[in-house]
A = this chain, B = another copy of it.
C-alpha cells in the first residue's frame, strides 16, 4: 500500500473514532423554558413518563416565586453539556475554583458536597454519604447562586468535582508520584457530572440573588413547605410496641403528674392485630375501644399517631381487594400497593379512614418505605401502573406522603407525621423524616442538610448511655421540626435520667414556649419557601464552608448544640451582633467564639434586632388564645412578623391567616403589636415585650 494511501486510511479511521466518541442520540439544542422568575425547565432527550414530581400532583407557588428578586442564571449555558449516550443521560456543569456545592440528598456526614461521588438511591442510611439515603433528592445548590433539580425517578450517579476530563479548561497540575511529595490521588476537577440511567430527563434550573433565594425557589416550585397543625409542634412520645390502652393511660398519667409537656402519643406496631405484615386493624385485645381511646386522649389535648408500614398482610380485610393493584414482590410477606393508582388510593383510603382517621387519629408514622435491598421490594419488582422497581424505590415514600396528605385534606384537616422516605417534590407534605441510625452528631448534620433539599428531618431521641447524652439529645430535638422521644423499643421516658430530669423538662418546656416563633417559621416555609431550620451557608453574612454542627431556627435563632463528652465548642457568628438567647448579653460580632455553657443549656444566639415571641410555660398546645411575650434582643429598634391562623385546617390557603407586626424600641422600652385591619387573631390574647439586652 503506498504511503499516501496508508496516511489517508489512518486519517479516515481517526476521524471515525473521533466521531464515535462524540456520537450520541440526537439531542436537540437545550431550550431553557422560563416557567417563573428565576426558574427554567429544560428537557434533555426523551424523559421518562414518570418523574419525581408529576406522580405527586402538587403545584408550584408561582406568585411567591415571582415575588423574589429575579436574577439571570449565573453560569455560562454553553459550558453545560447535556447528552444522551448508551441509553443514559449525561450532564456536565462547569465548576469554578472556590465554588461550593450543597444538597444532593439527605447526607449525614458531610454538608459540603464538592468532592463527593454518589448514586442517589432511596435507602436506609448505611453510614456513608454515598447517595443511599432516605431522601436522595437530586438537587444541588451552588454558591454561584443557582441550583438544578434533575427531575428523574432513577438512580442518578453524581461526580461532584471529582472527575477530570481530558479536554478540561482548568486541568489539574500534572505531578509525578515518584518525585513530588504533594502528589494527590484526587487531582483538581472542574466538573460536576451526572449520569441519569434513562434516555432523557427533565431539568429545572433555579437562580437566586443568594443561595437562600435559590432554595426558596426550589421549595416553592415543589409547592412550598408544609404548615403543620399547631399541636404538631408540641412534644411527641412514642410508646413501646406492645403497649395496651391501659399502658398508654399510665404513660400519659406519668407526664401529667410530673408536669412534662405532651402533645402526641405515638403507637407502634402493636396497635394492629398483625404487623409486620400489616393488617391496619386494631388489636382489640390491647385496644378494646379504639374510638373511646382516641377520644379520651383528645379530652386531655393529646393526639394519637399510628405506626404503619407499606406491606399489607395477605389475610387482612383489605388484602383481597387491593391484591391486583400490588407489586410483583412482597415486603416481609406484605403486599405492596401501587400508590400511584387511584384504585389503591381509594381502597387503602377507605381502610385508613375506617380504622383510623374517622376515629380521630391525627396522623401516621409511615415506616420502612425507604426500603433496604434485603427487605423492600427489590429493583426486579414491577408495579401494575407500569412503574419499574427502580422508579418505585425512588417514589414509594413520596407516593405514600401524597396519599396520606390527601386523606386528611379531604376533611380539611392538617396532619403531621413521620416518614422514612422522601424525594424531590415532597416538600409540601407534612411529614418529617427519621431513621434508626442514631448517631447524634450525624443526626445534626442531617438537620443542617435537610434545609438544602426541601425535606424535614427529626433527630428523634430513643435511649442514651449516659444522662449527659440524654440531655444533649433532648436539647437538640427540641430545636428541630419534630420534638419526639421514640420509646418503641425500650420504654424510655423524658425523666428516665433523674439527674437531668429538671433540665430535660426545662428544654421541653422551652420548646412549648417557642411555638409562636416556630409556627411562624413554618408559615414562612409554606408561603415563602424559607426552611424553618437552616444551614449556616444559607444565612446572609455567613462566609466560608458551612459547618455541620450549628444551624438557624426561624428568622433569628442560631443554635449550636453540644454533644456528649464536650464541655465547650466553637460557634461561628455571621456578620452583625449576636446575643445570648437566655441572658440577652452580647455574645459576639461576626466572629468565632468559644462557649462553655455547662450541661444546663444548649447554646442559642439571637441576631441583633431579633424578636422571639413566646408563650408562657405550658404542657399542652393551647386550643384558645394565650398571652405572648415578645423577647427583644439588642439595643436597636427591632421588628418581626408573627403568623397566626386556626392552627388546624387548610383555610389559611384561602387567605384565613394574619401576620401580626411586632415592633419594639429598646431605647424607650416600648413595643407594639399591629394586627392588620380586619385581621383575625386566633392564638394570642395579649402581647408583652421583654427587653433582654440591658
Contact = CB atoms under 8 A, between A and B. Distances in A.
A375 B178 contact: no
A178 B87 contact: no
A67 interface: no
B85 A162 contact: no
A193 interface: yes
A315 to B, nearest CB: 7
A77 interface: no
A330 B166 contact: yes
Interface string A343-371: 10000000000000000000000000000
A20 B384 contact: yes
A325 B21 CA distance: 10
Nearest to A325: B17
Interface residues of A, number: 84
Given A117-B373, A178-B242, A178-B275, A384 B17 contact: yes
Interface in A163-221: 163-167, 171-172, 174-179, 183, 185-187, 193-195, 197-199
A332 B388 contact: no
A380 B90 contact: yes
A639 B98 CA distance: 73
B386 A20 contact: yes
A326 interface: yes
Contacts of A87: 87, 198-199
Instruction: Point out which of A20, A194, A270 has the most chain B C-beta atoms below 10 A from its C-beta.
Output: A20
Most chain-B Cβ atoms within 10 A of its Cβ — which of A87, A194, A315?
A87
A378 interface: yes
Contacts of A198: 87
A341 B14 CA distance: 11
A11 to B, nearest CB: 11
B327 A187 contact: no
Given A187-B332, A275-B178, A388-B85, A378 B13 contact: no
A328 B165 contact: yes
Nearest to A343: B13
Given A13-B343, A166-B326, A383 B21 contact: yes
A551 to B, nearest CB: 29
B117 A378 contact: yes
A176 B281 CA distance: 13
